[in-house]
Amino acid sequence: MNVSRHLFIVLAFSFIAAFPFKAFADKHIPFYATYPNAEGAATVYVYCQGPWCRETGDGNWCIGGPNQTCTPIAPGSSMVEFYSAEVTIFSPYGRWQCGAWRGTGICGSPGGSSSYCCMNPIDGAGLEFELKKDDNAVILNLTNDSMSVDLSDDSDTITTAATLGDDNSRPKRDHDTFTFHFGPNPGDRLATVTLEEDPSAGHTGEQATLILRNGNSTIESKTDALPIEITATLPSDGEYQLVVEQNGIPEDVRFRGNYYLSVKSDSGNIEVIKPTEDVEQ
């Protein structure tokens, strides 16, 4: 190997080691199906779709694919994993919908283990649920004519995940901006925003700044060690901004690592948290 090429490889690995943090998918939420064997039971086909165009099959419902695709679940199946949702800046947390179908055949297969969902839907085998940060798995319980899901209590919290410290261009430190929408609600407008480290990943430092904004106006701002919590009454329905940043924090205490950002509303009127262009992917 020539010297220049060797030097390039060494520098490349040094860069990766120095800047290891990116928008992450270290956490996975498995989706399982359980379908007891019973007399006359036939294979059923399941399909789920969730936030940010996530789906359990091979199609793409967000861009109007020709058909949704299903995964076959045979009678006698117990805790069969048919999907895994990665936790990234495009958060899997929020509302999911699932359905089940059955039939003697399929109308065209894209290959692999999935089949097009153009069979007969099973009456009563459709459901919706909220996936939240504390949920470590989704379990669909199937029978020949029904479907239920095992989760903890319904969520009033929407969560996303990202990394602070993956854009350290001087003099400006990393600055992540998200938006969320608060729907019309004549009742409680109290919202709680929480910034906390991802306990499954390492980090350096401990302090960051969390800002809640309404347009160009700052509703609340707090610089502290994680976890940081802000509670405020939102003035109206509409779009709000959340900022997570390192600016102005001394280097020896500046947080750098994976984090969770959550918005909780007792009214349940918070929609999906969306990353803007300054959140590195």
Q: Where are the domains of the chain?
A: 28-150, 157-275
Of the CATH numbers 1.20.950, 2.60.40, 1.10.60, 3.10.150, which one belongs to the domain with range 28-150? 2.60.40
Which pLDDT value is given to residue 185? 65
Which pLDDT value is given to residue 217? 95
Q: Which residues contact 94 (CB under 8 A, 6 or more apart)?
A: 50, 51, 130, 131, 158, 272
Cα torsion 23, 194, 223, 253: sign: negative
Q: Which amino acid is at 123?
A: D
Q: Which amino acid is at 272?
A: V
Q: Is this prediction's pTM over 0.75? A: no
C-alpha–C-alpha distance, residues 158 and 261, integer Å: 8
C-alpha–C-alpha distance, residues 252 and 206, integer Å: 9
Report how far Cα 269 is from the mean position of its chain's Cα atoms: 18
How, if at all, do strands 28-35 and 138-142 pair? Answer: parallel
| Fold of the domain spanning 157-275 | Jelly Rolls (2.60.120)
In angstroms, the Cα distances linking 100 to 20, 37, 73, 212 are 41, 16, 10, 41
Which residue from 108, 95, 137, 149 is spatially nearest to 269, judged by alpha carbons? 95
Which residue from 74, 75, 272, 259 is spatially nearest to 181, judged by alpha carbons? 272
In tens digits, what is the pLDDT along the chain, a chain of 281 residues? Answer: 444 434 433 333 343 333 333 344 456 888 989 998 877 788 888 889 888 888 887 654 444 444 557 788 899 998 888 998 988 878 888 889 888 877 544 444 444 444 444 445 565 567 888 888 778 889 998 887 778 888 754 456 788 888 888 655 554 578 899 999 887 765 678 899 999 988 767 789 999 999 999 999 999 999 999 999 999 999 888 899 999 999 889 999 999 998 989 888 877 677 778 888 888 65
Which pLDDT value is given to residue 136? 80
Which pLDDT value is given to residue 182? 84
Name the token pair of 27: 């956490």
